[in-house]
A and B are shown apart, each in its own frame.
Chain A
Amino acid sequence: DAKTTQPNSMESNEEEPVHLPCNHSTISGTDYIHWYRQLPSQGPEYVIHGLTSNVNNRMASLAIAEDRKSSTLILHRATLRDAAVYYCILRDVPLNYGGSQGNLIFGKGTKLSVKP
């Protein structure tokens, strides 16, 4: 899987939007962009994923650059409960790989702090 680059940490104020960047200059045409987050003392949880078009769900929005070499996770109104480590992961799902979906390759992610 191709590599991603994220800032080590970011800060935000409560109730304000947060834009978490991710660079993936070596992304291939079949790589999906996934975001997971890990709240303190919990396992990672899925946030959102996309391929080419921008995506929205109840948790966040994902904005994908036209050349797909970067993407941005957008939290529209940060709350204290959004304080977590956010991981940007590229996935080329090899569904025919001996029946395996393949694994998630986590980097160190971006630690988001939210100030009240």
Chain B
Amino acid sequence: DAGVTQSPTHLIKTRGQQVTLRCSPKSGHDTVSWYQQALGQGPQFIFQYYEEEERQRGNFPDRFSGHQFPNYSSELNVNALLLGDSALYLCASSILGLAGGTGDTQYFGPGTRLTVL
């Protein structure tokens, strides 16, 4: 059973450019969340998608946008890249609707390391 996959593994961009990161959720999962992890910090929530809609958003500017496709895969887009956007971007999938704390278990991919020069 394939877990959460992300592509690409690494990416180097320059300031002002745009980037698209991709995520395929674990089989059977319908919800995808994106996190940004700066070096030495815990992951910070960007947004979550369910039924192709953004359901919840963290404290990130509109330069960060996303999309979820009918097959539950997802993309994270970042426009007008800044040096501070350099980080590990993590995708996590889960199943909406499971009871209590069990339904909140999120399965993370290995991440995409983005470097902005």
| A interface residues, Cβ below 8 angstroms from B | 32, 34, 41-46, 49-51, 85, 87, 91, 93, 95, 97-109
B86: interface (CB < 8 Å): no
Q: Check if B109 sits within 8 Å of A43, measured CB to CB.
A: yes
| B interface residues, Cβ below 8 angstroms from A | 4, 31, 33, 35, 40-45, 48, 50-51, 53, 55-56, 58, 90, 92, 94, 96-97, 100-111
Q: Check if B92 sits within 8 Å of A91, measured CB to CB.
A: no
Q: Check if A104 sits within 8 Å of B101, measured CB to CB.
A: no
The closest CB in chain A to the CB of B55 belongs to A100
In the complex, A100 Cα to B42 Cα: how many Å? 22
Q: Check if A49 sits within 8 Å of B50, measured CB to CB.
A: no
In the complex, A99 Cα to B68 Cα: how many Å? 15
In the complex, A48 Cα to B45 Cα: how many Å? 20
In the complex, A91 Cα to B41 Cα: how many Å? 19
Shortest beta-carbon distance, B51 to chain A, in Å?
Answer: 7
Query: 9 A-B Cβ contacts within 8 A?
Result: A43-B109, A49-B101, A91-B104, A98-B55, A99-B51, A100-B50, A101-B48, A101-B94, A104-B35
In the complex, A109 Cα to B41 Cα: how many Å? 9
**Residue from B33, B40, B58, B106 whose CB has the most chain A CB atoms within 10 Å:** B106
Q: Check if A100 sits within 8 Å of B56, measured CB to CB.
A: yes
Main secondary structure of the interface of B (DSSP, over half): mixed
In the complex, A29 Cα to B105 Cα: how many Å? 19
Asked, given contacts A51-B100, A91-B104, whether A43 binds B90 with beta carbons under 8 Å apart, the answer is yes
Q: Check if A106 sits within 8 Å of B43, measured CB to CB.
A: yes
Contacts of B44 in A (CB 8 A): 106
Contacts of B33 in A (CB 8 A): 103-104
Q: Check if B90 sits within 8 Å of A44, measured CB to CB.
A: yes
Shortest beta-carbon distance, B22 to chain A, in Å?
Answer: 15
Q: Check if B56 sits within 8 Å of A103, measured CB to CB.
A: yes
In the complex, A45 Cα to B107 Cα: how many Å? 6
Point out the residue from A51, A85, A97, A109 that lies within 8 Å of B56, measured CB to CB.
Answer: A97
The closest CB in chain A to the CB of B111 belongs to A43
In the complex, A103 Cα to B102 Cα: how many Å? 14
